A and B are shown apart, each in its own frame.
Chain A
Amino acid sequence: MAMLEIDNLHAKIEGEEGREILKGLTLSVNPGEVHAIMGPNGSGKSTLSYILAGKEDYEVTDGSVTFEGEDLLEMEIDERAAKGLFLAFQYPIEVPGVATMTFLRSALNAQRKKRGEEEISTPDFLRLIRERAGGLGISQDMLKRGVNVGFSGGEKKRAEILQMAVLQPKLCILDETDSGLDIDALKVVSEGVNALRSPDRAMIVITHYQRLLNHIVPDVVHVMNKGRIVRSGGKELALELEANGYAEYQQDAA
């Protein structure tokens, strides 16, 4: 059984008449797989990630999404998180005054509680954080600072990956995690992501550019345009896109 099954998904912005952003998207993701979704601006990539996470600004008008056999669209945002869905934000949000450490522990325990698990003990939590932060080059000082407050672009993305590493989700959605990263930061982030690849975990990597996929090598590449997946293929599809651009697909769909 696929972990994530998206079938003929149609969606628009809540309350707005007319224009659909997703127009019949179908996608199936199995455990252990890494899927890359590429496409031009405005093709609906970020909308897809928000709808999967449960952001309230969108309205699903048709189709279904099943996560491990359950209707994902019926679940609250935090319930989806507790079930193991994680979204690494393109623009991570600041939460002033709440130390990253505190935030992570609150989040982890909230998830564990919802799953009926024990809260993590302080020593276990500190060990987990230390272990995961080191690999991403995140200092103790950064962990004490407010969530994303005063972080550089690269620090924000690394902090997102740290959260992912600590929360250990089943399905990771990375929304343009490469944007705003220089080549060194891209490497660190990619290594962090690769370290999390496992046979039980699936990933959806959303990006404009092929360069991220040199580091995070996908199993499947999808081309998205105008709210639909218009072509799927192996990792070589990304290289083809890099060479030829999206123009071909935009014409096709028009």
Chain B
Amino acid sequence: MPAVQETVEQVRSIDVDQYKYGFFTDIESEKAAKGLTEETVRFISAKKDEPEWMLEWRLEAFRRWQTMREPDWARVNYPPIDYQELYYYAAPKKKDGPKSIDDIDPEILATYEKLGIPLRERDALLGIESGASRVAVDAVFDSVSVATTFKEELAKAGVIFMPISEAIREYPELVKKYLGSVVPVTDNFFATLNSAVFSDGSFVYVPKGVRCPMELSTYFRINERNTGQFERTLIIADEGAYVSYLEGCTAPMRDENQLHAAVVELVALADAEIKYSTVQNWYPGDSQGKGGIYNFVTKRGDCRGDRSKISWTQVETGSAITWKYPSCILRGDESRGEFYSIAISNGYQQVDSGTKMIHLGKNTTSRIISKGIAAGHSDNTYRGLVSAHRKATGARNFTNCDSLLIGDKCGAHTVPYIESKNSSAQFEHEATTSKISEDQLFYCQQRGLDPEEATALIVNGFVKDVLQQLPMEFAVEAQKLISVSLEGSVG
């Protein structure tokens, strides 16, 4: 209830067309030469001080990528991307690597502070005293991770949480074993590109039987012009382990489009559970559709062990184009996959997002709740696959896709694919499309709410089932974000 009020204040305080996170941080940076060649790949690998096997892995990906074509089946339109016009590596310039948070460029710290992300453990610790829950943060600025908090405390519990570039050097066996095991190098055009040039991201390993003592979180920030961000996240929950992880994303306002092609891999072994939440707020472009991030992301979780569980929750409000299908491979018997999504598009944003639930094991279950909200001139598509392998006896899925239209110039589309090769599988699919009606607005206004307050309230009601899935502190943030994204959508 108070959150709704906050939402409303937030909406008031921001002018139409003003993306709150659109500032640019002026720091010196070091970039790889423009364009993508084998040299670029070698440069990145050398910058990261990588072992030979990692370089080979990248080069293989690069060679493969050169033979691939960009996918064109999604319901999105954009001019061809010139991959030779991009920078593939940009890092804040520094003499030596940061030894502690105090060594980080104050400008960068200021940036994260503006974003409302406390990097300083001190501050975070103060947060504990005031009763806020604790969140360990890994901050990725352009291509590199600049700070990871609470590392030591996590280490005590046996949890590894560090930039993936460090993990490659410090835990090569774990990385070798799991990297590319969920999203293979050859998976798709953008994932393969990422495999060749990824520069950083987060690595999490939760050992057997450990319940990670705090929320883990990574904040991604694209700062440099013409720079692609290719982060790579790998999370492994060993047998019986539990971890909840959240990523947040922002970028400055730019006239040109920027490419973000991330890969996230989750592995849950027997009885393990991973909860992965995303609040995606990349710059969406201006109200005329100029600029904005191309968010072409491959996210997949593998419920590798019996009774394992992976849950994706996403609140997607940013990006000019979103192409993203966080999926679950339900390999272990009785494993469970969940996908909860709120995707909001306004202005000229294009969203093509959904999930894949691949039932391989016996008695596997999955649940999909998708809420798409289209406003302005945007297009919002849910695309999902639910499939049962012939051995997936007793597989069950429940899917609910609801779309809400605001105004009459936007579009909502639902494209569900259902395949069952096992006669005992039970799949249910429900879908609705509705409009915020004049009557609803009139009713709310008659009670004293102005049109924007009324819209925020109606939309928050529409997405309630999904918001409930987010960790508490992020649910409030997400709720604000929803209202801000719908700014100016009421005529």
Chain A residues near B (Cβ < 8 Å): 53-56, 76-78, 80-82, 86-87, 89, 92-98, 101-103, 105-111, 114, 119, 146, 163, 167
Contacts and interface: CB of A to CB of B under 8 A. Distances in A.
Contacts of A108: 448
B445 A81 contact: yes
B156 interface: no
B33 interface: no
Given A98-B458, A98-B460, A93 B440 contact: yes
Interface stretch (B158-166, B314-322, B462-470): B462-470
A76 B448 contact: no
B449 A107 contact: yes
Nearest to B1: A102
A53 B446 contact: yes
B448 A114 contact: yes
Nearest to A86: B446
A95 B5 contact: no
Contacts of A101: 1
A109 B445 contact: no
B379 interface: no
Nearest to B453: A110
A110 B443 contact: no
A95 B448 contact: no
Contact of A167 (B438, B447, B457): B447
B464 A97 contact: yes
A117 to B, nearest CB: 12
A92 B444 CA distance: 11
Q: Which 4 A-B pairs have the closest CB atoms?
A: A97-B461, A98-B461, A111-B448, A107-B447
Contacts of A53: 442, 446
A106 B449 CA distance: 8
B443 A95 contact: yes
Given A54-B445, A102-B1, 16 more contacts: A54-B446, A77-B446, A78-B445, A78-B449, A81-B446, A89-B446, A93-B440, A94-B440, A95-B457, A95-B458, A97-B461, A97-B465, A106-B5, A106-B449, A110-B8, A110-B450
User: Contact residue range for chain B?
Assistant: 20 to 34
B457, B458, B463, most chain A CB atoms within 10 A: B457
B4, B437, B445, B457, most chain A CB atoms within 10 A: B445
Contacts of B445: 54, 76-78, 81
Contacts of B462: 96-97
A92 B443 contact: yes
B419 to A, nearest CB: 32
A119 B451 CA distance: 19
A95, A106, A167, most chain B CB atoms within 10 A: A106
Contacts of B444: 95, 103, 107
A75 B458 CA distance: 23
Nearest to B4: A106
Contacts of A146: 461
A98 B450 contact: no
A119 B1 CA distance: 13
B448 A167 contact: yes
Contacts of B449: 78, 106-107, 110
Interface string B447-486: 1111101000110111111000000000000000000000
30 contacts: A53-B442, A55-B442, A56-B442, A77-B442, A77-B446, A80-B446, A81-B447, A93-B437, A93-B442, A94-B440, A95-B443, A95-B444, A97-B460, A97-B462, A98-B461, A98-B464, A101-B1, A102-B4, A103-B447, A103-B457, A106-B8, A107-B444, A107-B448, A110-B447, A110-B449, A110-B450, A111-B447, A111-B448, A146-B461, A167-B447
Given A93-B439, A106-B1, A82 B448 contact: yes
Contacts of B437: 93
Given A55-B442, A89-B443, A95-B440, A78 B461 contact: no
Given A101-B1, A106-B5, A87 B446 contact: yes
A98 B464 CA distance: 8
B439, B449, B451, most chain A CB atoms within 10 A: B449
B439 to A, nearest CB: 5
Contacts of B4: 102, 106
Contacts of A119: 5
Contact of A105 (B1, B442, B450): B1
A81 B451 CA distance: 13
Contacts of A54: 445-446
Nearest to A55: B442
Contacts of B461: 95-98, 146
B455 to A, nearest CB: 11
Contacts of A98: 457-458, 460-461, 464
A58 to B, nearest CB: 12
Given A95-B457, A102-B4, A76 B450 contact: yes
A97 B463 contact: yes
Nearest to A83: B448
A109 B4 CA distance: 11
A82, A86, A97, A167, most chain B CB atoms within 10 A: A97
